[in-house]
Amino acid sequence: MTRTIKRLEHAGFVRRRPSPTDKRATIIEPTEASLALRHQVDEVWAELEECTAGQLPEERQAEAVQILEQIEASLSLAATRHAQETGGPTAPPEGQAGHM
Encode pLDDT of 9-48 as tens digits: 999 999 999 999 998 999 999 999 999 999 899 999 999 9
Q: Which listed CATH number (3.30.365.10, 3.40.718.10, 3.90.1150.10, 1.10.10.10) goes with 1-55?
A: 1.10.10.10
Which pLDDT does position 2 carry in this prediction? 87
Which pLDDT does position 94 carry in this prediction? 47
Dihedral of alpha carbons 48, 53, 58, 59, sign = negative
Would the pLDDT of 70 be above 50?
yes
Class of residue 8 by CB neighbours under 10 A (exposed 0-12, middle 13-18, buried 19+): middle
Nearest C-alpha neighbor of 79 from the set 61, 64, 98: 98
- Stated pTM of the model: 0.48
